[in-house]
Amino acid sequence: MYEPEEEPSFLSRYTVPLGVAVGLIVMGVIAFIALGLGGDDDGGGGNNGADGNNPTPAASATPTGNAQEQAIEAYVRTTLNMEYAGDCSTTVPGGPAQTPGAAATVPATATRICSVKRGDREGVAGYVLGQPLSEPTRYIFLEQRGGQWQVTYSPLITPDTRGVPGIPWPLRPGAEVVVVGTGQCLNVREGPALNQAAVDCINDGTRIRLASGPADADNRQWWQVDGRSGWVAADYLRYPDAAQ
């Protein structure tokens, strides 16, 4: 016997279409939010007023300090393999200074080197380098070459030379200099090295003229003396006006 199908209720008639419609609306909202907020993770997202295919490049780090300090920083980093901490007056161990209103400071560590300017002479800038709150370990002299400051001379400060008065400005052939700080006299050696025989000795306070040089050996700079057959170490030579 044929039995008529049961008429579907009003609720069952509209449940499936209504569920589909709601699902489409939710998906549309999600897609709208994704378009508005997405795309920044890989650097190619919101254009902030610029073409999205040409995002604004990230700003590069701004060099700190003046041009001379930038040259010193490059020398400390590449030649000494240490980190440059800037001016020693703004560097203290352990972190910022505790004095209220003090200038910002740079933490000092065993791998940091700071500088103190000692003066200028005929286009040459002179500094000393050392660890913060310690005795300086070397001089460093800069000159402008090709429009840029470059380190041209950096003699070490040793226990033997620490007490030598004055500033060891870079010397030039033909310059008149004075012997200082030896305690007695400066050896004149056959060649520009410590293992060369001493053939003469020049008393402290004596003025001499440099014939030629420099030659580098034994962590020293050597100059040949005019009128004498030998070489002397530059550590004990000063321009007369810079010998104090």
pLDDT in tens, 75-85: 999 999 999 99
Q: Is 6 exposed, middle or buried (0-12, 13-18, 19+ CB in 10 A)?
A: exposed
Element holding 31 (H helix, E strand): helix 10-37
In this prediction, the residues of the chain whose per-residue pLDDT falls under 50 are 1-22, 26, 29-64, 94-106, 108
pLDDT attached to residue 229: 86
| Residue at 187: amino acid letter | N
pLDDT attached to residue 42: 30
Cα–Cα nearest to 220, from 228, 209, 232: 232
Q: Is 100 exposed, middle or buried (0-12, 13-18, 19+ CB in 10 A)?
A: exposed
pLDDT attached to residue 244: 86
pLDDT attached to residue 93: 53
